[in-house]
Chain A
């Protein structure tokens, strides 16, 4: 496994205060040390020491950052498009909208697929969360949330519950039931509580844990049954707009992107911020892992999507074009990771060739911003949710085949 977090000690007595707690692995004067998050905060908040001023601290900061860039640069021996030169070009893509899901009365803000590959859940500005069978266009469940702007929704891995949250600062889990007389929303259980709007949520590998990220700048891991906070993650200096969990084998980590232009990778067990990428020029609206888990892509208001390699610890590709001026609000990869789908604020979806860095195709059709694109779990279709109140299930077919 290439996940370096596996090797680190993550629980035990803190080197400073001795209490057994999740540990962060940090370095003081190049010596590795394990502190609990409280002691680390204390260390950071010590204030100006003797002989230090804000200016000296700033200079020290800058020199450390420069050293990090140098170290990163030393291993930078090749670019992505160079390695990809030998790879064949993707043939012409035929893109067809196969389903249009109508039913929301206001902007659709988020959607998620069920593991059964045909059901999906969507949430909207009108406060409604609808579970659809995408294949037959049936609306299976509809729930009204007590708030407008339900910006995050997620389907549980078992397919028996959904989570949603938004302006109410809470993320709730609603168990789904087949009894049509039952009011689904009545069985709703509040799991996550933040101090500002919920911008993203996802279940981990089971129905029992929920990861949420919020406009208050923190993300958190919750136990669904008890509503207990298992771990919180601090490090962003402004609103977090999106999060994504690493695909199964590499487990244990997730990435968040926020308004401070940073994309941070976190260790779920200790709460430590492991890696950080600050390459964008504007808010990061969406982050998504590459299917192998060793890289991720981000979409930003600066009209670019960027591709970051986690093992090499650097940005390896920028997907941009002169004619694309509007911010990208969402990204997702195709099953093999070769295609990158990005939804933009100019109502279009662009399809990029991840390896070559070029744009393959463009999709029109939505009449307002594309708020979310998501690949179905087996890679057979792409769903796009938009502010024009509809969701579209799109199918793509590569014409040049042996």
Chain B
């Protein structure tokens, strides 16, 4: 971790909130309570005694008891407290973790808590390193020596001040009693291990990127600030809302409906590829599968959206609509989707094409929408934009959902598909077989190749396109022959 150069902050970047620090401090205070906190004992160090040392196991046990969590979680939580610098290890001071044994730790003094002064000043670090240099030459570690040289270069202009400060602090420390001095040195050393960690170690102080706006500041109070809130709140009040029982009921129902389809909660047939390294599940359920699996077909019955979003389901539905001579509805809906999500440049052309094919009077695939919607759509088409067909698309979608979908589920087409659907046997691999599977992992066809194949296939189909019955009919009627009575969509 390199030193974050404080000079770089032009006052336009702010550190994120570290709400966890306030919460951690609360826990710390509880831990230090003489009656209910962690048991402490004095530690003997040759001739001096360090008071209030606590063992790793006691910390973990206390945390587990206080929060009703298991030892692993307590250990992880304790390690985070050490990583933040609230507790420091007395032995092996560079490894900021809690060891679940009799290793000793101490609570860091509030003077050195991270919230007190953050971000940490480079000047202070320079003073600290200089101080240690004075105390004993050559005691600095390699990375500390590098930092020291770097700071010396960057802060050359105030180096005299730094050295003077270091000498002052060194002299003041010598005047303290030995136990206090040892404790203070330990605390200070722990502080700098947290805030200037050796390179290659993980630092809990690393919060990533800074924010553009100061999250800790209050928002500006100008008139337009309030106006905007009022405009928004007004429209929010007028928005229709649903009773909690209804909407929450729907959420719960969704969970229970899909429970058996969730690979994490129910068996994945034949087996979850990530668990057994066997990709049969993916091959069976590929997009253009001839014969879908039973689970897949079952999902189509959950909602109309599920049916449409699965290409195989949509194909089945299209087949059904063809039999009912109302496939123009689905074709229109698909064209609208294509318009909505397509490139801006092609939009105008697509809108015109759709109008000619589906909406104009006498169009070859005329769709049945009510007068008002037609009026809105046609007037919107004068200045075509991406969402001009929204109203018509919703109407047709609702039509398909409320009428055709229900009929599809009861239709012979669907029943046939359901009958033919496969329900694979669950795989029962032995350990040896699993190992073999793991060795035989094969790469799959790249989506790039699949798309190329798809485009080629579409080109081929367009070239040999079967005659569209509706086009034949319209041609006949134009020639004066009667077109068969179209089934009116209810």
Contact = CB atoms under 8 A, between A and B. Distances in A.
A104 interface: no
Contacts of B231: 26, 40, 43-44
B305 A75 contact: no
Contact of A60 (B17, B24, B230, B264): B230
A291 interface: yes
B373 to A, nearest CB: 12
Given A6-B390, A25-B235, A71-B241, A301 B211 contact: no
Contact of B233 (A65, A197, A380): A65
B35 interface: no
Contact of A337 (B17, B258, B309): B258
A98 B380 CA distance: 53
B386 interface: yes
A355 interface: yes
A116 B447 CA distance: 7
Given A238-B212, A346-B77, A380 B263 contact: yes
B256 interface: yes
Contacts of A354: 255
Nearest to A203: B341
A182 interface: no
A178 B446 CA distance: 8
A362 interface: yes
Interface string B259-282: 101111111100011110001011
B67 A395 contact: no
A23 to B, nearest CB: 11
Contacts of B275: 96, 98, 395, 397
A314 B344 CA distance: 36
Nearest to B235: A26
Given A133-B443, A197-B209, A309-B251, A61 B264 contact: no
A294 B427 CA distance: 36
B212 A380 contact: no
A189 interface: no
In the complex, which range does the number of interface residues on chain A fall in?
35 or more
A346 B84 CA distance: 11
A358 interface: no
A64 B233 contact: yes
B67 A10 contact: no
Interface string A130-170: 00010110101000000001010000001110000001000
Contact of A238 (B202, B213, B241): B213
A311 B242 contact: yes
B119 interface: no
B237 interface: yes
Contact of A393 (B248, B264, B274, B281): B274
A83 B279 contact: no
Interface stretch (B189-197, B219-227, B323-331): B219-227
Nearest to B337: A205
B390 A335 contact: no
B448 A159 contact: yes
A202 interface: no
Given A208-B341, A302-B19, A10 B248 contact: no
Nearest to A195: B212
Contacts of B444: 116, 118, 133, 135
Chain B: interface secondary structure?
A: helix
A179 B124 CA distance: 54
Interface string A353-377: 0110000001010011000000000
Given A32-B238, A177-B448, A46 B243 contact: no
B239 A312 contact: no
B247 A311 contact: yes
A71 B208 CA distance: 40
B237 A325 contact: no
Contacts of A395: 272, 274-275
Contacts of B309: 248-249
Contacts of B441: 135-136
A75 B245 CA distance: 8
A253 interface: no
A160 B445 CA distance: 12
A18 interface: no
B264 A223 contact: no
Interface in A36-70: 40, 43-48, 52, 54, 57-58, 60-61, 64-65, 67-68
B265 A90 contact: yes
Contact of B20 (A326, A396, A397): A326
A186 B107 CA distance: 54
Given A75-B241, A380-B281, A60 B226 contact: yes
B53 to A, nearest CB: 24
A181 interface: no
A196 interface: yes
Nearest to B447: A159
A348 to B, nearest CB: 6
Given A83-B249, A136-B443, 19 more contacts: A57-B223, A58-B226, A77-B245, A80-B248, A159-B451, A238-B215, A275-B236, A303-B19, A321-B67, A323-B73, A326-B20, A336-B254, A346-B80, A347-B76, A364-B72, A364-B76, A380-B263, A380-B272, A387-B206
Interface of A: 1, 4, 6-7, 10-12, 20, 22, 25-28, 30, 32, 40, 43-48, 52, 54, 57-58, 60-61, 64-65, 67-68, 71-72, 75-80, 83-84, 87, 90, 93, 96, 98-99, 107, 114-119, 133, 135-136, 138, 140, 149, 151, 158-160, 167, 176-178, 196-197, 204-206, 208-209, 215-217, 223-226, 228, 230, 235, 237-239, 248-249, 259-260, 269, 273-276, 281-283, 290-292, 294-295, 301-303, 309-314, 316, 321-323, 325-327, 334-339, 345-348, 354-355, 362, 364, 367-368, 378-381, 387-388, 393, 395-398, 401
14 contacts: A4-B240, A57-B226, A75-B241, A75-B242, A87-B252, A118-B282, A159-B451, A238-B213, A309-B251, A336-B261, A339-B265, A348-B76, A395-B272, A397-B275
Interface of B: 16-20, 23-24, 27, 63, 67-69, 72-73, 76-77, 80, 202, 206, 208-209, 211-213, 215, 219, 221, 223-224, 226-252, 254-259, 261-268, 272-275, 279, 281-282, 285, 303-305, 308-309, 337, 340-345, 380, 383, 385-388, 390, 394, 397-398, 401, 441-444, 446-451
